Structure 1
Amino acid sequence: MGGTGGPSQFVPMPTEGIKLLQGLYREPTLENLKKMLNVFVYDPSTMTEELMAARLQNMLARRDYLENFVKSLAANPTQFPDYGHRLNEIKAPTLVIWGRDDRFVPMDVGLRLVWGMPNADLLIFGRCGHWAHWEHAERFNDTVAKFLS
């Protein structure tokens, strides 16, 4: 969802993480996956060899997805459309969760999303990258469950 808020106003685009993701999708190797996951999360020590092997296997099982992603990059190199002018149309209560240390989609994009939606709340996890649901699973799950109830 991060791309819907447009590009970051503070971090050059594409971000470090997006560049690594694009490289991984162009050349899906374990080495490229490790490079990408090392900036995907705040603490890369949580990325086990088993997890990385499973992610790579899942990626390789859908080469068509990887090829389509690479084709979409050629068609739209920026990959960050700006729908900020339409965010006010989202009237439903919305919970935006962000990792303060996200190196894929910077936090100012999340702030812009919340600012544009009249009924949005923002939860920012410190010491957290792009995968808040992984890095702060218990608090993430509790927060989402309360929000949905």
Structure 2
Amino acid sequence: MSTVRTREERMVPVGRRSLFVTEAGAGRPVVLLHGGGPGATGTSNYARNINALAEHFRVIVPDLPGYGRSSKDLDQSDPFGDLALAVRGLLDALDIDRAHLVGNSYGGAAALRLALDRPDRVDRMILMGPGGIGTTRALPTKGLNHLLSYYGGDGPSRDKVATFIRDYLVHDAGAVPDELIDLRYEASIQPDVVASPPLRRPSGPGAPRTLWRMDLTRDRRLSRCEVPTLVVWGQDDKVNRPSGGPVLARTMRRCDLLSLARTGHWAQWERAELFNTTAVAFLEGER
């Protein structure tokens, strides 16, 4: 077990982009990939997890392309593929051969896509309510519709952020402090983000192909994936349907499923103590 170090923050050049990265701890690397809601950043999504995990691992928390202080460009024709490429590039830049991946929602889809594209770069993987699981097979949830419409209509607002987080991300709305709402709102109104939101409804001539690429259950490699995986899904998830959990558990060869009662889309935040203990035990398994 390592001693938690003071967090280090820096910009890391990754190909055409620069990623803002926070690090803490030492040991085997664990990369935490955040969700895609308005104003999301790595440290806000994992505020209740970084220190606990850093007691055991080298914890690496990037702002994904399009978010926080990272570069804002993202290939909208294959967003999950481009995110996977960015994460792989980050590993290269940090001279990391293999890492554990922990991904929530949008970040879960990025982690899974990287495991499909380059399984040799992924040790173990934890996915919390990941995106891309049956994306094109049913109408979007109310939570996903709210996320995708955030920059539409009368534009972004603090009330929209509060509604999204308190009504759709968590089971207990009263547990979310105003400070978190303020932080997310300020991050969501950066001019370059408003001009080109990173997570949006696919449209235009290439939209059908984009939707196909965003449905990872259609990828035949999923059933052959050998990366040990733990899927954590809140039973009250209003953004990505909890039925996606059993789909992954049935399809992937080495996939365990943890279903959490009275928990929404933000399992790592709402059930932090349980999540942290479980994550450490799973990630410390045999390589």
Q: 1:97 is matched by which residue type in structure 2?
A: V
Aligned length: 147
Structure with the larger strand share: 2
- CA 1:138–1:49: 2 relative to 1, 3 Å: same
1:56 aligned to 185, 193, 196, which one? 185
Tell me the SS of whatever aligns to 1:98: strand
Picking from 224, 230, 236, the partner of 1:89 is 224
Any gaps of 5 or more consecutive residues in structure 1?
A: none
Choose between structure 1 and 2: higher helix proportion.
Answer: 1
SS in 1 for 2:239: coil
- Sort the Cα spacing of 1:144 and 1:71 in 2 relative to 1 into closer, same or farther, 3 A: closer
Query: How does the TM-score come out when normalised to structure 2?
Result: 0.47
**Normalised by the size of structure 1, how large is the TM-score?**
0.85
* 1:82 aligned partner, one-letter code: D
Q: Higher relative contact order by CA 8 Å / sep ≥ 6: 1 or 2?
A: 1
Tell me which structure has the larger Cα radius of gyration: 2
Equivalence for 1:29: 157
- Is the contact between residue 93 and residue 120 of structure 1 (CA under 8 Å) also seen in structure 2? yes
User: Which whole-Å CA distance do the structure 2 matches of 1:88 and 1:35 have between them?
Assistant: 37
- Identical counterparts, % of pairs: 31
Instruction: Say what the alpha-carbon RMSD is for the aligned residues.
Output: 2.4
Residue 14, structure 1, aligned to residue 140, structure 2: yes
Residues 73-107 of structure 1: per-residue CA shift (max 9 Å, x gap): 32448857332233112101101111011000011
Equivalent residues of 2:151, 2:197 under 8 A apart: no
* 2:252 counterpart of 1:117: yes
Structure 2: 5+ residue runs without aligned partners? 1-108, 110-129
148, 162, 170: which one aligns with 1:41:
170
